[in-house]
Every structure is written in C-alpha cells, then in structure tokens.
Structure 1
Amino acid sequence: MLRLLVVLFSILFGLAAMPAQADASKETAAAAAIPLRGTLYRVDHENRTAWLFGTVHVGQPAFYPLEPQVMQALHQADALVVETDIRDLAALQQAIAQHALYPGGDGNIARHLPSADLAQLKQALAQAGIPFANVQRMKPWMVANLLIVHAMARAGFPPEQGLEQHFLQIAASERKAVHELEDAAYALSLFDGMPPAQQQAYLRETLRELQDGSGVAKGIAMIQAWRHADGAQLDQLYRAMLTDDSVGARFTQEALLERRNPQMTDGIVKLLQDEHRLFVAVGALHLIGEGSIPALLAQRGYRVTRLY
C-alpha cells in the first residue's frame, strides 16, 4: 500500500520514479556476501508453487542485490504478483481524482480542517519545503501519507528505491506475466472510506508524530528489522501495533491487514489455478500473525514452509 502512495507522491510532486537497478554482475556474488532480507515463504499445492516475499515499500541502493534464494525464486517463477501494478499511471491518476482529491468547488482542504489543524499543517509543509498550493485539493488522509513518504525520503529512504519497482523491471526484462491483487482505486478507497473526523484525527496524529520524530522512528525500526531478516523483531513490531490505540495503528490493523489479507489470499489461490509458479511480493506485515496470508493459506490445506 505504501508503495502505491510513493508512486502517487512522485506523480503529484513531479519526482522521477527511477527504480533501483541491481548490477547483473552483483547478483552472481557469493551467497555469503549477501545478507538475508525480509521474510520468504514457499507455498505448495497440487504441483503448483508460490513464493511469498515480504517487502518494505521504500528503500536505498544498499538493499541490492537481494540474496540468491529470493532472486532464484523470482527467476524460476512464471509470473510476478504484486499488491498493485504501479506502472498503470492512467489508473493511478484516475484513482487519485476519485478518492484522494476534493471535487470541484469543494476543492480546498482549508474548508475541512479546524483552524488549529490547518495552522499545524501549513507549518509542517513549510518545514518540508512543500507549497500549500501543491496539496490544498488533497483530503487529509492523502496529505498525511505524503508527508510520511516525504519524511522517510529525507531520512534516507527515497521513493525511487522501492522493491516492487525493482521486481517489476526484472519481470519486464524476463517477459514474465505480472498480476496485481487489487487495483489502485480499491487501495485508495480504503483510506477514502475513513469518515471526515477520522481523517482529521489521522492527519493530526501524523503531524504530531512527524514533529516529535516518532513517526519516522517507527518506519525505520520496521525497515531495519526487514533489512536484517529479523523475524522476531518484525513480529514484535506487529504485536506492538495490535496494542497501539492510535488512529493509524487501528486503521492499519483493521483496514489494511484484516480486511485485505483474506482478499489477497483469495487472489493468490485463484492465480495458482492458472499459473504453476508465482513470485508474490507484498508488504512484510501481510506475512505476520495469525491472520496473515501464510496462515490463511495453511488453513486452506496448502503446504506452507517458512524458508527464513
């Protein structure tokens, strides 16, 4: 989901979306020299196989090349599966217009925020070097997420280094089929489904966390756990989110995970009926916990093996 927002950030602010390219020669480096990253599962059912790789949606050049076990799975797969195919810019722009922007004469966030929240937003935008005019038509949830993406970029994790772009480029070079588990309109509709008061609270909470640094710290903690394939730490961060009563944590758990994981699982099951080998790249949180995609596949009788 965050990767989709990264691409929207690039569209709206005119940033070049240049995916990180791993030098082909580096992919042949000794396995011992390349650390494990994220988490990797293998799913088998009736002579069909899917590899599930947990990603983070931002990155940096040091993340590449990925370790050989992941790359071998990707090269062996007949098709790549991602949350949303971020290459369809027309669909993204239509989804933005439908769900992320205020329509027509209603198009100014200043009309939808209390004066104190508006003042804090303008201050945060000024600190980030983003003109208010660039975001004034956006709904509060959209502005909040783009400020998070911007802050992570300034912390050293720029939007152009995300893993999905890397995988999509490899898939294109190998002429693999690419499937998405949900389209951009559905993904953005989850945020747009928040009532106005909840959107305001989400923005207010985001501004506070960006001001005190806790928002970026949470993002970096997740990335570092992924970077070192620290499953115990990833699980701890996930369980901490379950007890977090913040608007963002509740929304992530209820809307972005509990609602989407069963639907993503349905999509993978359906694709495995047509494809013999899939490489599935989704956010790492979708692979953690009792309601995770691996757990749901196991409940359906699929043989699920955690490779690391």
Structure 2
Amino acid sequence: MSIHTSFAALLGLRGLRASRLLAIWSLLSLSLAGHTAQAADQPAAAASAPAASEPARVCPPAPVPPDVAQMQQGMRDAVDRGFLWKVSRNGRSSWLYGTLHAAKIDWVYPGPAVQQALRDSDVVALEIDMLDPGVAKRLETAVKMPAKPAALPPELAARLATQARLACVDDALAGLRPEMQAVTLSVLVARDEGIDPSWGVDGFLAGYARGLQKPVISLETPELQMALLVSNKPADTARSVSEVLTELESGETRRTLLRLARAWAASEFSELETYAQWCNCVKTAEQKRFYAQLLDGRNGPMARRIADAHQRGQRVFAAVGALHMVGPKSLPALLAAQGFQVERVR
C-alpha cells in the first residue's frame, strides 16, 4: 500500500482518523503511569529536597504521544516482538499474546504476525480495558487513598518520598494508596532507557482494536486486580511497601525489569520461562505465595473467559502480561487442558 494513502488506510483502521488514534493514545494517561507524566520534568518541591546522602536525580523527558508521521513510520518499521500462540478448537482459531506493560515506544507497534492475528480475530480481550470509561473510573476509585488512611511509619514514609523524588514524580502520586505509589515507582525505574509504562503494549492494542472496529472486553475487573495489591490492614500495607522499596533501593527492580524487557523484545521465551529463578523475587514462602496468586491464581478465570468466548463462536485475540504464558498453570497450558490445539507462532 502506498505511503501516500491516508494514515487510517495505512493502519487498516477502516476510516478511523489519525487524530482519533492519537486521542486514544493520549488516554493512556488514565493508567497509573499517567499520574507521573505531569511531574516528570518539574523541579522537586522544597519539602522533598534531597538529603546530603541521596544520589542526584536525572529526570527523563515527559512522554509525548507520537505525531501522525512518527506513527506511520513506526508501523512501517514494526517487527514482531513478544510471544504469540494460536489456539484452535471446533474449527476456529483464537490467539494468545504475551505483552509488556512498560516498553519502548518503538515496541508498541504490532509486527506482521500480530497484525494478522488481530485482523483475523472477532474480539480483543485484555486484562482490563483502560479505554473503557467505566473501567477507568472504577480503577481510579480503587487506587485512591482511603478517606481516613492509616499513616505509614515515619521512616517508611520518608523512604517512599525519597524514591518519588528520585523518580521525578515528587507529590504526583500522593493521592494513591501507599502500595500503589510503591508499585507505580517500580515500573518507572527504566525510563532513562526509554522503557516507560506510558508505552505499555496493552494500551496501544486497546486503541488499535478500536481502530479495527473490534469489540474489546476485559478479562478481569479493576477491583480484582487491586485486591491483590492493596490491604486495609496497616501492618500488611507497611510490609508490602517496605518490600517494594527495598528492591527499588537495591537496584534489583531495575535489573529485573531491564532483563524482562529485553527478553520480551527479542522474543526469548527460554528467558521468560526461568524468570522465577533469576528475578530474585520468589525467595521466601510469602513471596512464593504472592507470586502464585498474582499469576497462576488469575490464569484459571482468564482461561475460562477466553474459552467461553471461543465456544460462543468468537475468534479471540487475548493480550495479557507475558508472565501469564509461563508454567504448568499458564494460559497456553490451561487451554490445552481444555482441548485446544496450542501452537506457538514464532
């Protein structure tokens, strides 16, 4: 197709205007990362001035949505990344796609195999559809600080404020629950490498699917996801925040995110399969329990929703975090157990 055709035609968006797609992309600010963009390039507030022992911070530029020409170029240059499976039953095929929630901007554009799978699908299924206004509102409510929050211990609050300052977000996360502040900081640690949650692959797919006029469904609810991460018990909140901050302060979070991102970009599934061995995050009994709950515990219900939609005659393109594709209770394994023929698309 000629590069002189309209942008909508280039993307196969059936009349969706480029400005509409750009607007959809800008709506990614509804994600947790969106709370940080406004503060990313602003000076620290006086209250969060660095202590003498703290390292100097270097703030990456705030994420800026690409213009039409950049998006055209991104689609032309797109290569397949991540992990794609074809799952077939009853004479129909659906797809599983393992995504990355924080990525480089060039990585969000789907490559040829992923584009074809999207076009051949009837419905796109995401963990949660952030472009659904109702879902976004519920998530915003779920992550907000309670009306009468229990205060973090002073030392822990100071550590959290330090990491917010070093991440160049200062007070931008103050309205979130403490656990969500810590989790958000953990996905911002590689922005200097261009790996930013603003460019999460799932978010772009939500907009791209709408451009293809595909219905988008959520496999989970905001309330379910938040229930895994937050607690109304002050002791549990303090323990969770402390664990996340310890990994941030040691540099372990950054090392793990970079290694995972590079494996995803190169489609190195063997690296993904051994994640629990090298992430240094599944050591204690509590960590093992949480890891199983965060992944295996969610895979069963998601697999059933995908299988049910397929059974109703819909060809499903299900895009979820890549770690849901690993292990004996992964989505590919669970669908195979339900009688699907599962084939990795390399």
TM category (shorter chain) comes to 0.7 to 0.9
Using the TM superposition, give the Cα deviation of residue 247 of structure 1 relative to its aligned residue in structure 2, in angstroms: 8.6
Q: Which residue of structure 1 aligns with residue 87 of structure 2?
A: 43
Structure 1's 282 and 301: CA in aligned 2 closer, same or farther, altered over 3 A? same
Is the CA contact (8 Å cut-off) linking 1:286 and 1:293 kept in structure 2? yes
Q: Which residue of structure 1 aligns with residue 274 of structure 2?
A: 236
Any idea what the Cα deviations from partners look like across 1:152-202, whole Å, max 9, x if unmatched? 334421232121122122211111111110122222122125853333222
Instruction: Report the secondary structure of 2:158's partner residue.
Output: helix
Using the TM superposition, give the Cα deviation of residue 24 of structure 1 relative to its aligned residue in structure 2, in angstroms: 4.7
Letter in 2 for 1:203: V
Structure 1's 135 and 65: CA in aligned 2 closer, same or farther, altered over 3 A? closer
Does 1:167 find its partner at 2:210?
Answer: no
Greater CA drift, 185-194 or 8-17: 8-17
Alignment of 1:45-64 (within 5 A): 45-63=89-107
Distance of 2:243 and 2:67 partners within structure 1:
32
Q: Which sections of structure 2, spanning at least 5 residues, go unmatched?
A: 1-27, 39-61
Using the TM superposition, give the Cα deviation of residue 251 of structure 1 relative to its aligned residue in structure 2, in angstroms: 6.0
Greater CA drift, 246-255 or 216-225: 246-255
Q: Which residue of structure 1 aligns with residue 34 of structure 2?
A: 10
Instruction: Report the secondary structure of 1:157's partner residue.
Output: coil
Greater CA drift, 261-270 or 62-71: 62-71
Using the TM superposition, give the Cα deviation of residue 248 of structure 1 relative to its aligned residue in structure 2, in angstroms: 8.7
Instruction: Report the secondary structure of 1:81's partner residue.
Output: strand
Of the candidates 89, 92, 101, which is equivalent to residue 144 of structure 2? 101
Q: How does the TM-score come out when normalised to structure 2?
A: 0.75
Q: Which residue of structure 2 aligns with residue 176 of structure 1?
A: 214
Any idea what the Cα deviations from partners look like across 1:65-112, whole Å, max 9, x if unmatched? 433111111111111111100013443333333x333332x14xxx43
Structure 1's 17 and 217: CA in aligned 2 closer, same or farther, altered over 3 A? same
Is the CA contact (8 Å cut-off) linking 2:105 and 2:199 kept in structure 1? yes
Q: Which residue of structure 2 aligns with residue 122 of structure 1?
A: 161
CA RMSD of aligned residues (A): 3.0
Greater CA drift, 16-25 or 46-55: 16-25
Distance of 1:92 and 1:251 partners within structure 2:
29
Distance of 2:130 and 2:308 partners within structure 1:
21
Distance of 1:248 and 1:194 partners within structure 2:
18
Structure 1's 136 and 94: CA in aligned 2 closer, same or farther, altered over 3 A? same
Instruction: Report the secondary structure of 1:146's partner residue.
Output: helix
Q: Which residue of structure 2 aligns with residue 67 of structure 1?
A: 111
Is the CA contact (8 Å cut-off) linking 1:92 and 1:185 kept in structure 2? no
Distance of 1:166 and 1:300 partners within structure 2:
30
Instruction: Report the secondary structure of 1:189's partner residue.
Output: helix
Distance of 2:135 and 2:338 partners within structure 1:
33
Instruction: Report the secondary structure of 1:259's partner residue.
Output: helix
Instruction: Report the secondary structure of 1:151's partner residue.
Output: coil
Distance of 1:251 and 1:88 partners within structure 2:
31
Any idea what the Cα deviations from partners look like across 1:229-285, whole Å, max 9, x if unmatched? 101111111344597225995365222212100010011011112243211111100
Distance of 1:241 and 1:54 partners within structure 2:
18
Using the TM superposition, give the Cα deviation of residue 139 of structure 1 relative to its aligned residue in structure 2, in angstroms: 2.4
Distance of 1:251 and 1:216 partners within structure 2:
23
Using the TM superposition, give the Cα deviation of residue 208 of structure 1 relative to its aligned residue in structure 2, in angstroms: 2.0
Any idea what the Cα deviations from partners look like across 1:28-49, whole Å, max 9, x if unmatched? 66xxxx6542111110010221
Q: Which sections of structure 1, spanning at least 5 residues, go unmatched?
A: none
Q: Which residue of structure 1 aligns with residue 21 of structure 2?
A: none
Structure of higher CA gyration radius: 2
Greater CA drift, 176-185 or 151-160: 151-160
Instruction: Report the secondary structure of 1:150's partner residue.
Output: coil
Any idea what the Cα deviations from partners look like across 1:105-139, whole Å, max 9, x if unmatched? x14xxx4322221221222222233334x444432
